[in-house]
């Protein structure tokens, strides 16, 4: 039995509202156990007998898409992988002037997103490439207006990533 974290993209924003209890029930309906949600933004911890993250992702996306009638995008990670991602955060995360994020991407997107982000030469936000993720440090108050944020919402990237605050990710492990 493996311990996993899943991150749903784009729920409880833009009119797509899903109650976390309904989401828990949806997960349980396909044999997922010990389902717990954190906040109202699609952060889920669970146990599964299946060990193939890709297969778990496909099953969850199908179940959530069917149940809630939208094309679900879900990122699934083994808990140990999430712990490693957090431990590898490359920026000092103690300065209260900034917000600290991890951006999870579909395979093959991270490098391209990083290259385009680096070409912005922004002083307002910094990015670093991780293993299948991007790390992002952005000045508080400009998160949605920073140069990198504007890149994230471009068509070639917007449906292929989700991001979470470093504090939220750490709480998912506790």
- For residue range 106-116, what is the model confidence (pLDDT) as tens digits? 887 888 889 88
If asked whether residues 119 and 56 sit together in one domain, one would say no
Predicted TM-score of the model (pTM): 0.90
Q: Tell me the C-alpha distance between 8 and 68, whole Å.
A: 12
CATH of the domain at 33: 3.30.70.1280
State the pLDDT at residue 142: 87
Relative to beta strand 125-129, strand 133-139 is: antiparallel
- Average pLDDT (12-17) is 68
If asked whether residues 93 and 39 sit together in one domain, one would say no
Q: Considering the chain, what is the average pLDDT of its residues?
A: 89
If asked whether residues 73 and 102 sit together in one domain, one would say no
If asked whether residues 72 and 50 sit together in one domain, one would say yes
Residue 75 or residue 160, greater confidence = 75
- For residue range 27-62, what is the model confidence (pLDDT) as tens digits? 999 999 999 999 877 899 999 999 899 999 999 999
CATH of the domain at 165: 3.30.70.1260
If asked whether residues 75 and 128 sit together in one domain, one would say no
- For residue range 88-127, what is the model confidence (pLDDT) as tens digits? 999 999 999 999 999 998 887 888 889 888 888 888 899 9
Least confident of 48-52, 61-65, 155-159: 155-159
Long-range contacts of 33-38 (CB under 8 A, 24+ apart): 33/1, 38/168, 38/171, 38/172
Number of domains in the chain: 2
If asked whether residues 75 and 119 sit together in one domain, one would say no
Q: Tell me the C-alpha distance between 153 and 106, whole Å.
A: 15
């Amino acid at each position: 039995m493996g311990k996993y974290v899943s991150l749903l993209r784009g729920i409880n924003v833009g009119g797509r509202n899903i109650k976390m209890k309904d989401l828990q029930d949806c997960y349980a309906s396909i044999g997922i156990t010990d389902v717990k949600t954190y906040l109202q933004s699609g952060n889920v911890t669970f146990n599964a007998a299946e060990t193939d993250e890709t297969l778990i992702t496909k099953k969850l996306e199908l179940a959530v898409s069917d149940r809630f009638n939208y094309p679900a995008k879900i990122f699934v990670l083994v808990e140990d992988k999430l712990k490693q991602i957090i431990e590898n955060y490359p920026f000092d995360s103690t300065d209260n002037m900034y917000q600290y994020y991890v951006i999870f991407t579909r395979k093959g997107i991270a490098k391209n997103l990083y290259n385009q982000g680096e070409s912005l030469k922004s002083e307002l936000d910094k990015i670093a490439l991780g293993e299948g993720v991007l790390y992002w440090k952005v000045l508080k108050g400009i998160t949605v207006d920073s140069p990198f944020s504007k890149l994230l919402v471009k068509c070639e990237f917007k449906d292929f990533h989700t991001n979470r605050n470093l504090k939220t990710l750490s709480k998912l492990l506790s």
